[in-house]
């Protein structure tokens, strides 16, 4: 018995000496360079046969041995084969090309140096403003923060857009989605909100815009608008446009998240993150999965759809250091809002603002679908007594208005009872009141943009609900600011 105890004691004495050697051996092994050759190229995916026993890590960057401009990223591995995504020009690749690992994943410039600039996934400038010296580079990948550092914020973020502030208020540090088909005004609403919210912010607040798979023209227009409005110096724009390959489009959103995290964690700032378009992010992931030959899930989307979206969304949280409030455009293919890609993105949102084509065709902008839109802030604790009461009352008469509008479409408004006619017109006035001219469309409409404080919006709607303005025609409420601006009074 004593002999066995002595053996155990001797083992524990030599264990500390053995452990560091084992750790050092593993560290040296991972620091060694992996090498291989390209055996096949299929679209944006290349297959590499690794030479030797050193394998690259997932997401590690590989480069051609004789050309550093050839950039590949490890996507998946099997026993002796590595699949990589081609992030650079695929025309430079050929079978038999030797490649080697860099020991690092993809990093992007962050910090004050990138403010006011337009850059791509690799930190190259796209605004003809010349090169810049980055303060720091950080990986586009990051672990999801632990729950114990998440700080819930119960503050409402005012936008100056009446329909949003009244119907779907935005929580500071929350996730907001503008959901709609092509041509219903998602990008206009996003840039208008970017203009209004940025101007309202005081102190150390920065904006990050990610153009994910959208048109080159839209990136140029956004740059000019932000420059003219004076908010470009506190904004960084990252573009992975429609003409880029799927691997780049897929990672631009992650690069934008890394920018926002740096401003939040290192500069202790509140951040506004704008993403146009999250559906293109999903689409890019589906394209990559198809090239890899993976078995698709529902509606031909990749089986890893939920996981891929969560790797982006779960990083956008408020902490003790600051908040990230994200505004995300979500394109709805063929106006099918039950599309699996759309519904998966929506499941991560705190506020869903659905834009309707039928409402837009009536000339009502922003064309927010009042029945399908929702917000997590619709409670008395968030909104306050006055706002919550006005919103609840409006929702009641809105449901009745929807039924009455079918009757009016068939037999006319004159056939309604006196009471129903009053409620119908009162609701119509509020719907018209919630329209407003935008700063971003001044050149197209010829109307000067207007921003209305949330308190003014609530008070004006309370006035309409009271019936004190029943004698004023509903058309008088279209595209105005506040009632005072339009000189509408009792």
Residues marked active site are found at 186, 214-215
Three-state helix/strand/coil letters over the chain? CHHHHHHHHHHHHHHHHHHHHHHHHHHHHHHCCCEEEEEEEECCEEEEEEECCCCCCCCEEEEECCEEEEEEEEEEECCCEEEEEECCCHHHCCCCCEEEEEEEECEEEECHHHCCCEECCCCCECCCCCCCCCCEEEECCCCCCCHHHECCCCCEECCCCHHHHHHCCEECCCEEEEEECCCCCHHHHHHHHHHHHHHHCCCCEEEEEEEECCCHHHHHHHHHHHHHHCCHHHEEEEEECCCCCHHHHHHHHHHHHHHHHHHHHCCCCEEEEEEECHHHHHHHHHHHHHHHCCCCCHHHCCCCHHHHHHHHHCCCCCECCCCEEEEEEEECHHHCCCCHHHHHHHCCCCEEEEECHHHHHCCCCCCECCCCCEECCCCHHHHCHHHHHHHHHHHHHHHHHHHHHHHHHHHCHHHCCHHHHHHHHHHHHHHHHCCCCCHHHHHHHCCCCCCCCHHHHHHHHHHHHCCCCCCCCHHHHCCCCCCCCCCCCC
Rounded to an integer, what distance in angstroms lies between the CA atom of residue 264 and that of residue 323? 6
């Amino acid at each position: 018995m004593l002999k066995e105890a002595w053996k155990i004691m001797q083992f524990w004495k030599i264990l500390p000496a053995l452990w560091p050697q084992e750790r050092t051996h593993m560290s040296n092994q991972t620091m060694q360079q992996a090498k291989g050759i390209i055996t096949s190229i299929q679209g944006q995916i290349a297959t590499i046969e690794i030479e030797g026993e050193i394998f690259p890590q997932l997401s590690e960057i590989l480069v051609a041995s004789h050309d550093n401009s050839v950039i590949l990223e490890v996507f998946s591995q099997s026993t002796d084969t590595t699949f990589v995504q081609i992030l650079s020009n695929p025309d430079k690749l050929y079978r038999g090309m030797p490649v080697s690992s860099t020991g690092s994943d993809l990093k992007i410039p962050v910090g004050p140096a990138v403010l006011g600039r337009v850059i791509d996934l690799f930190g190259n400038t796209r605004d003809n403003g010349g090169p810049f010296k980055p303060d720091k580079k950080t990986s586009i990948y990051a672990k999801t923060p632990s729950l114990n550092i998440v700080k819930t914020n119960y503050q409402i973020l005012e936008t100056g857009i009446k329909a949003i502030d009244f119907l779907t208020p935005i929580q500071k540090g929350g996730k907001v989605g503008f959901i709609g088909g092509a041509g219903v005004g998602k990008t206009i609403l996003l840039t208008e909100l970017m203009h209004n919210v940025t101007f309202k912010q005081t102190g150390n607040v920065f904006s990050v815009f990610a153009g994910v798979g959208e048109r080159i023209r839209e990136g140029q227009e956004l740059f000019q608008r932000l420059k003219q409005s004076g908010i470009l110096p506190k904004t960084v724009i990252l573009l992975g446009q429609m003409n880029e390959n799927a691997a780049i489009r897929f990672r631009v959103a992650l690069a934008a998240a890394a920018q926002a995290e740096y401003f939040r964690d290192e500069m202790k700032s509140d951040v506004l993150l704008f993403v146009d378009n999250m559906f293109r992010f999903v689409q890019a992931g589906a394209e990559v999965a198809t090239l890899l030959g993976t078995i698709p899930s529902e509606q031909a989307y990749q089986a890893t759809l939920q996981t891929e979206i969560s790797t982006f969304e779960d990083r956008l949280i408020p902490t003790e250091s600051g908040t990230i409030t994200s505004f995300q455009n979500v394109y709805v293919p063929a106006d099918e809002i039950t599309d699996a890609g759309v519904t998966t993105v929506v499941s991560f949102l705190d506020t869903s603002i659905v834009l309707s084509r039928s409402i837009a065709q009536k000339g009502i902008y922003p064309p927010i679908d009042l029945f399908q839109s929702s917000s997590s802030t619709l409670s008395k604790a968030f909104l306050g007594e006055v706002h919550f009461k006005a919103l609840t009352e409006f929702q009641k008469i809105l449901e009745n208005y929807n039924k009455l509008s079918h009757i009016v479409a068939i037999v006319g408004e004159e056939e309604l009872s006196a009471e129903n006619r009053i409620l119908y017109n009162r609701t119509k006035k509020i719907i018209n009141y919630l329209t407003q001219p935008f700063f971003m469309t001044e050149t197209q409409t010829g109307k000067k943009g207007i921003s209305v404080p949330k308190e003014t919006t609530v008070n004006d709607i309370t006035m309409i609900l009271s019936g004190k303005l029943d004698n004023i025609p509903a058309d008088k409420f279209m595209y105005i600011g506040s009632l005072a601006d339009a000189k509408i009074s009792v």
